[in-house]
Amino acid sequence: MNEQEELQEQAETAQDEGAPEQDFADLVKELEEVRQHVLYAQAETQNVRRRLEQEKQTAAAYAASGFARDMLSVEDDPDRKLSAVPEELRQEDKLKSLLTGIEATARELDSVFQRHGISRVEAMGQPLDPHRHQAMVEIPSDEAEPGTIVQEMQAGYMMKDRLLRPALVGVAKKA
């Protein structure tokens, strides 16, 4: 064998020996890519699981909001009935028991609402909050600051931290 053939044979041997090293490096690189994809898939699965759990909790907490919204008109009735009775009629014996029954019904409704996280929105004397109040009229007033609620036409209600119905209010303005 001459020198040139020997060099060529060594080069071919070196190439053959380098090929497995290159294949190994390619496999390591591919393995790392696959591992990254698996980690991303696991993270995405965990995020979806968390999001679904949160949605489940929210749905359970506010499942009755439609029913509660419908019950608000029932809650308003006793207050309207009581406010329609003049003071002189409240003293009559015939109406006292009727008024007592209406008041008891109103208290029971309030109690049921409280147990289910439904509360009345504070309005009178508060500054107007567009997230909780709906201004219906502006009322000229020297006593109250402009933007302060001076009249409540209809009570507003919250269920936990969500608004069921805004309070319909009259807001003070400069006289």
Domain count along the chain: 2
> What's the one-letter identity of residue 131?
H
What pLDDT score was predicted for residue 90?
83
For residue 13, the model assigns a pLDDT of 59
Computed from CA positions of residues 63, 67, 70, 71, in that sequence, does the dihedral angle turn out positive or negative? negative
Say yes or no to pLDDT of 27 above 80.
Answer: yes
Average pLDDT over residues 61-83: 87
How far apart are the C-alpha atoms of 108 and 99, rounded to whole Å? 14
Q: What is the pLDDT of residue 86?
A: 86
In this structure, the answer to whether residues 32 and 92 fall within a common structural domain is no
Q: At a CB cut-off of 8 Å and minimum separation 6, what does 78 contact?
A: 102, 103, 105, 106, 109
Same domain, 150 and 82: yes
Same-domain pairing of 75 and 146: yes
Task: Say if residue 47 is in the same domain as residue 113.
Answer: no
Identify whether residues 32 and 108 lie together within a single domain: no
Range of the domain at 49: 1-61
Tell me the average pLDDT of the chain: 87
Residues 91 and 158 in one domain: yes
Pair of tokens at residue 57: 């909790």
Residue type for position 30: E
Q: Given this model, what pLDDT does residue 18 score?
A: 52
Instruction: Determine the straight-line distance between the first and last CA of the chain, rounded to whole angstroms.
Output: 117
Residue 142: pLDDT above 90? no
